A = this chain, B = another copy of it.
Amino acid sequence: MKLHILGCYAATPRTLTNPTAQVLEIKNHMILIDCGEGTQVQLRKHKVKFSRINHIFISHLHGDHFFGLPGLISTFRLLGRDKELHIYGPKGIKEVITLMLKLGDSWTNYPLLFHELTSKEPELVFEDEKITVETIPLNHRVYTNGYLFREKLGERKLNIEAVAKYKIDKCYYQNIKNGKNITLDNGELIQNEVLTFDPATPKSYAFCSDTSYLPQIIGQIQKVHTLYHESTFLDSEAHLTTKTKHATAKEAATIALKAEVGTLILGHYSTRYKSIEMFKDEAMEIFPNVELGEDGKVFEL
């Protein structure tokens, strides 16, 4: 799994900082999460092969999380895309994108499929053989979901020495990787564990932005490998979180601690702060494994 942070600042795009957008590479999927203004330029700048994006997950309909989406959809058209593009986001996203395309008489020449969300409970919104995606209902000024991406448990790994020792024919390998035991020609039963190793532990990534401090999510994101949690403010500005429904670095770290996650990545910094190092310092007083999201940074998860 690889995470490209394209933008991780709150509110407005500026000369050197970008609003929220990130690309998650997971099991051959390239998934775009949020799409603030300028995302298509960030994709180009950081050489992300964005024609491979088939799924876009939008957290909420504030401008700094989706004003780049109409432009990206148009650019896909201009680049001659013909593959389906799936967009997940709050109800209303289909109406506004459709209106923009209609006003410009610029309908896509590829299938544009909307999956509008309204549930206030977590729901499975995408699943294939390799991954699942669930919503994480958040608490913000408008209807907002985080997203939880999980790899599925893969095939067991073949123990090449063991299958050679028992002279097992290759045609049985797929069954063995699927967990089957094998009976040899002499009638001997070989247990699967002898012929395989455990598959890699499936990884998981939770994206939680924007939200106020919300302990209700702790159960759902328990023990995820990586949590991206917004930290718009430092604790010194905690009084601003009530009205804005954002969180502090301290609160993000508290969620990470209670959910026993592997790594916490911070982001969605208010542009009032001159340096983001203080966010890491504040979070690390509570939780040890903290990384700072930064525009252009790539995390190997």
- The residues of A with any CB-CB pair to B shorter than 8 Å are 11-15, 37-38, 40-41, 44-45, 60-64, 67-68, 70-71, 74-75, 78, 90, 92-93, 95-96, 99-100, 103-106, 141-142
Contact = CB atoms under 8 A, between A and B. Distances in A.
A141 B100 CA distance: 15
A47 to B, nearest CB: 10
A14 B44 contact: yes
Contact of A13 (B12, B15, B40): B40
Contacts of A64: 74
A109 to B, nearest CB: 14
A9 to B, nearest CB: 12
B68 A37 contact: yes
A63 to B, nearest CB: 4
A61 B105 CA distance: 9
A221 B83 CA distance: 45
Q: Copies per complex?
A: 2
Nearest to A63: B74
Contacts of A40: 12-13, 37
Given A13-B38, A38-B38, A63-B70, 9 more contacts: A13-B71, A14-B41, A15-B41, A37-B38, A37-B40, A62-B106, A63-B71, A67-B67, A90-B103
Nearest to A39: B37
A61 B103 contact: yes
B142 A12 contact: no
Nearest to A36: B71
Contacts of A95: 99
B62 A104 contact: yes
A285 B90 CA distance: 54
B62 A44 contact: no
14 contacts: A11-B78, A12-B71, A13-B40, A13-B41, A14-B41, A15-B41, A37-B40, A63-B104, A64-B74, A67-B71, A92-B99, A92-B103, A96-B103, A99-B99
Contacts of A37: 37-38, 40, 68, 71
A80 to B, nearest CB: 12
A71 B105 CA distance: 22
Given A62-B104, A103-B61, A44 B70 contact: no
